Amino acid sequence: MQKYLAFIQQFVSFFRKHGDDDRKFMDKIHDTYRLVVVNDDTFEEVTSVKLTPLAVYIGVSTLMVITAILVAMVIVWTPIKRYIPGYGDFHRDSEIAALTSKLGALENEMEASREYNENIRKILVGDLASMSKEAVEKQGQPDNAADTIPKDIDRIPEDEQLRNAVDKGTFTADPNALSITAGTSSITQRDVPLEKISFIPPVSGDLTAAFDLNKSHFGIDIAAPKNTAVKSAADGMVISAGFSVETGYSIAIQHPNNVVTMYKHNSVLLKQAGTAVKAGEAIAIIGNSGENTSGPHLHFELWYKGRAVNPADFINFN
């Protein structure tokens, strides 16, 4: 141990002044020293290494430079930089801003979809209290719809006659008709018995599960070959189209006369909410999506005035 300490003391005092001041610095750093490792008990030499102060300096400097390069590479090219305070990542910040914007847009779209579905539900069950004149006025709507029309638009004579009739209370309309308009298509609903309505089978095939209210099975299951097109049972308007864990890709259509049909477990949806469809028009592709399914089939539901009815009583699926 004393030999080790002596070597260290000699190495430290190398640069200090001693009896050979006349030697140059470059000569001193080229002096050769021998580092010997011996057994402390037997004083047997285990190993030895010849060193010069220049070699030690170069080795230590090289090790420090390599360590600094490796640390810089780890910080620049790995996600560990995210944990370093103050280290900026402009690419990541732009992605976060874009995702935040998309999230806000999706939240607005979901809220609009909820309000749309809620309004459709109220129409189906006859809950029109929130759509009365008083409710509309509470929501900040103008008392007179004419206030929202620009003053520079010329009104046609028929429009003036209609407005005067409404103001005087002499206007009458068919109470049994309700018109739902979307885009350029219009669906008129009338109080017609369900037995007198003509439906087109969405698919043709064998019934694998019957209608059973006791088991909360509000429709029937029809087995059909893979990639079979699912057709709309009648003219109508798509009020819902999307994916859920239980029913997979599903679509719902509002028809005249307070009739709603639902098509579940599809593999692909061909229509979006708010789209008008014709009877027999392809709206989806049969599939096996969702949890409550076992093989390609269509779960078809028929709702009349807010109640589920047996589709097999009104449609021939053979």
Q: What is the pLDDT of residue 155?
A: 61
Residue range 259-281, pLDDT digits in tens? 999 999 999 999 998 899 999 99
Residues 95 and 73 in one domain: no
Residues 239 and 263 in one domain: yes
CATH of the domain at 287: 2.70.70.10
- Sign of the dihedral defined by the CA atoms of residues 244, 250, 313, 293, in that order: negative
Per-residue tokens: 261: 């049909």
Q: pLDDT tier at 119 (50, 70, 90 boundaries)?
A: confident
Q: pLDDT tier at 186 (50, 70, 90 boundaries)?
A: very low
Residues 236 and 309 in one domain: yes
The answer to whether the predicted template modeling score (pTM) of the entire model surpasses 0.75 is no
Per-residue tokens: 122: 């109220």
Q: pLDDT tier at 192 (50, 70, 90 boundaries)?
A: confident
How far, rounded to the nearest angstrom, does the alpha carbon of residue 49 sit from its chain's CA centroid? 66
Residues 204 and 296 in one domain: yes
Q: What is the C-alpha separation between 10 and 31, in angstroms, rounded?
A: 12
Residues 298 and 200 in one domain: yes
Picking from 14, 48, 9, the residue whose alpha carbon sits closest to that of residue 31 is 14
Bridge partner list, 49: 35
Residues 138 and 37 in one domain: no
Is position 186 within any domain? no
Residues 95 and 66 in one domain: no
174-188, 244-258, 299-313: least confidently modelled range: 174-188
Is position 174 within any domain? no
Is position 13 within any domain? yes
163-172, 233-242, 302-311: least confidently modelled range: 163-172
Q: Which of 22, 53, 77 is the last residue of a domain?
A: 77
Average pLDDT of 145-160? 57
* Residue 219 clears pLDDT 90, i.e. is over it: yes
Is position 301 within any domain? yes
Read off the DSSP letter of residue 190.
-
Q: What is the C-alpha separation between 47 and 162, in angstroms, rounded?
A: 112
Residues 222 and 288 in one domain: yes
Q: Which of 31, 48, 77 is the last residue of a domain?
A: 77
Residues 93 and 73 in one domain: no
* Residue 17 clears pLDDT 60, i.e. is over it: no
Name the residue type at position 214. N
Contact predicate 38/2, CB 8 Å:
no
Is position 306 within any domain? yes
Is position 154 within any domain? no
Residues 41 and 123 in one domain: no
Domain that includes residue 95, residue range? 89-144
Is position 17 within any domain? yes
Q: Which of 42-51, 175-184, 280-289 tops mean pLDDT?
A: 280-289
DSSP three-state, residue 195? helix
Give 111 or 179, the one with higher predicted confidence: 111
Is position 287 within any domain? yes
Q: Return all residues near 128 (Cβ < 8 A) that are at least 6 apart.
A: 122
* Residue 80 clears pLDDT 60, i.e. is over it: yes
Residues 132 and 241 in one domain: no
Q: Which of 55, 77, 99 is the last residue of a domain?
A: 77
* Residue 146 clears pLDDT 60, i.e. is over it: no
Number of domains in the chain: 3
Q: What is the pLDDT of residue 175?
A: 40
